[in-house]
Chain A
């Protein structure tokens, strides 16, 4: 119930491609879904987040799509660049909870 399942584990795309990372959850009490970006040798940093009352959120080239009925959400990176190469974590949060539930991460490589 408290798990967030993330796929794929790794992803390689060419520059300009649109990588998509998917996450699924079971707990319908989750009400906040952040994505974190982690560059090698750095700590994770909040990239973009969505609440379940909207189906899509865009920030620059990054878009979250949210499907409440399917209990799934995904991250799309438009016009991907080599500088987007990083590990991406999805997460889920239940209001009032003390902890985030993280997915296992996706290592994205964008080739020039």
Chain B
């Protein structure tokens, strides 16, 4: 099992550009999450999904969009990138009713 995979590993965007961060898991987990982690800071939940076709906002959803068309994939879309979106983005997955989340290796995004 590859677990949770994320692409790309690194990306530099210009202000106003858009991009999609990819996340996939092969553990057949129903729940998936997107977090951002700023330098020296904790994890902030952006969006999450409890199954295909179902998504919900976390604590910092502004400037982002998600979709969940399959159990395996949970892409995060940044529209009109801003410097405030410079961060490391982590995708995670878990099974319903379990408190363990499995994290991907992260995508380091810089917006200049």
Is the C-beta of A102 less than 8 angstroms from some C-beta in chain B? yes
Interface residues in A80-112 by Cβ distance below 8 A to B read 89, 91, 93, 95-96, 98-100, 102-105, 107
CB-defined interface of B28-62 with A at 8 Å, one 1/0 digit per residue?
00010100000011110100101000001010000
Is B103 a contact partner of A45 (Cβ separation < 8 A)?
Answer: yes
When distances are taken between beta carbons in the complex, the residues of chain A under 8 Å from B92 are 43
- What total of chain B residues lie within 8 Å of the partner, measured CB to CB? 23
Is A43 a contact partner of B31 (Cβ separation < 8 A)?
Answer: no
When distances are taken between beta carbons in the complex, the residues of chain A under 8 Å from B43 are 44, 89, 102, 105
A98-B48, A99-B48 are known contacts. Are A46 and B42 too (CB-CB below 8 A)? no
What is B's interface to A at a CB cutoff of 8 Å?
Answer: 4, 31, 33, 40-43, 45, 48, 50, 56, 58, 90, 92, 97, 99-106
What is A's interface to B at a CB cutoff of 8 Å?
Answer: 32, 34, 36, 41-46, 49, 89, 91, 93, 95-96, 98-100, 102-105, 107
